[in-house]
Amino acid sequence: MHNSPAPLDAVSRPVDYLRISITDRCNERCLYCLPEGFTAWTEREEILTYEELLHVARAATALGFRKFRVTGGEPLVRRNASDFLAALIAQPGVEHVGLSTNGIRLSASARALAEAGLRSANISLDAVEPAIYRRITGGNVREVIAGIEAAQAAGISTIKLNAVLIRGVNENQIWPLVQFAASRELILRFIELMPVSLTSVLNEENFFPVGEAKKAVASRTAMIPDLTRHGNGPAAYYRLPELSATVGFIGALTDLHFCETCNKMRLTADGSIRPCLGNHGEIDLKPALRPRADAARLRKLFLQALRDKPREHSFRDRYQPNRVMTAIGG
Ligand code: SAM
């Protein structure tokens, strides 16, 4: 007998959603994501090949995973990302595939992604004011807006915008972001800053709780709780009837019920299964993939990861980041 909490398994909680980071490389350098001057990208041969990723997806669907998200780093900096998406979407047992992107390369690839069968994308947009966007990401917000327009025109019909809240940097963007999303009929989610990076990205000065963001929106317009599920995430949604808009709040640190409905696991760019974003535990799948894929061994490692999934994250517990977010995939 031991006193640690009983492990979760696929039966006690349906874990059916895998986020796949296809690269740790990124064409932006967000304040909250990469340490300044970071160049320690994973060696190319350590990154799983598309074929290996499909083996992992097959092992996942065999265990009941149905939903997948392709992320990174920036997934659109990896060559032929749309071919991989097409293959993943076509794989038996795969019911939903979404893409997470910063949108910078989206206008160039939206059509190919739509042709690959992609219908759902989450696009990071932390500010609409160009100077603030540049300060946070180093990039050009006009490219992201062009990417959003191209994705909509190409038929990627479910688009959500994600904005990470940073006190002293983008709190004055809360209302402009709401107006922008409403004008494009897009769902917007505000996300609390999480301590995931290699350096401390979160401190008492820059943390901006979603409760404050909610108040900022409520001071401008009426908000009605919306219990409809908009996707698979832990966001609490509100309808804004005066704007015909929907806004979500992801309280990764302040929402004490945050982990209760977590149905996700993550595959890092270098091939480890991570049962929880906010816990260092990982299981390396490479021994089951190289020199050749071994389905029985992959299954065993997946089952181990399901058993290891903690009941809740450790972010509130003096969590010390030890991985860049770009490798984990957010
Ligand atoms: N490059 C893509 C993008 O920008 O969406 C996908 C990868 S990114 C790591 C996935 C998500 O994680 C983005 O919405 C990003 O804003 C979010 N993210 C990254 N670091 C974060 C942090 N420290 N706290 C909260 N969210 C973070």
298 Cβ neighbours under 8 A, 6+ residues apart: 55, 56, 59, 285, 288, 289
76 close to ligand 1 (CB < 6 Angstrom):
no
DSSP state of 27: S
User: 172-208, pLDDT tens digit by residue?
Assistant: 999 999 999 999 999 999 999 998 877 777 787 899 9
| Pocket flag, ligand 1, residue 32 (CB < 6 Å) | yes
Q: Which of 21-30, 143-152, 222-231, 297-306 is least confident?
A: 222-231
Fold for domain 6-328?
Answer: TIM Barrel (3.20.20)
Residue 314: exposure state from Cβ atoms within 10 A (0-12, 13-18, ≥19): middle
pLDDT band at 69 (very low <50, low <70, confident <90, very high): very high
Sequence-ordered strand ranges (E) for 166-318? 187-192, 224-226, 236-240, 245-250, 264-267, 272-274, 283-284
- Angle 295-308/50-62 helices, nearest 10 degrees? 60
Q: Does residue 153 contact residue 199 with C-beta atoms inside 8 Å?
A: no
Confidence bin at 3 (pLDDT 50/70/90): very low
Nearest to 104 by CA among 68, 134, 83, 135: 134
Rounded to 10 deg, the angle between the 106-115 and 81-90 helix axes is 30
Mean residue pLDDT of the chain comes to: 92
Q: Which run of H or E residues covers position 68?
A: strand 67-71
CA-CA-CA-CA dihedral for 253, 209, 182, 163, to nearest 10: -60
By most ligand atoms within 8 Å of CB, the mutation choice from 24, 30, 33, 122 for ligand 1 is: 33
Whose Cα sits closest to atom 4 in ligand 1?
Answer: 102
User: Which atom of ligand 1 is nearest the CA belonging to 33?
Assistant: 20
| Position 13 confidence tier, pLDDT thresholds 50, 70, 90 | low
Q: Is the pTM of this model over 0.85?
A: yes
pLDDT at 12: 54
Contact yes or no for 210/164 (Cβ under 8 A): no
If you search the block for the tokens 């309808």, which residue do you land on? 239
Domain range annotation of the chain? 6-328
Q: What pLDDT score does 325 carry?
A: 85
Closest ligand 1 atom, residue 21 Cα: 7
Among residues 323, 18, 310, 283, which one has the least CA distance to residue 195?
323
Cα(196) to ligand 1 centroid in Å equals 10
* Ligand 1 neighbour 196 (Cβ under 6 A): yes
Lowest-pLDDT range of 12-21, 50-59, 135-144, 160-169: 12-21
Q: Is the pLDDT of residue 133 over 70?
A: yes
Query: Could you tell me what percent of the chain has a pLDDT over 70?
Result: 96
Report d(CA 277, CA 329) in Å as an integer: 9
pLDDT of residue 202: 78
- Rounded-to-integer distance, Cα 327 and Cα 330, Å: 8
DSSP 8-state secondary structure symbol assigned to residue 46: G
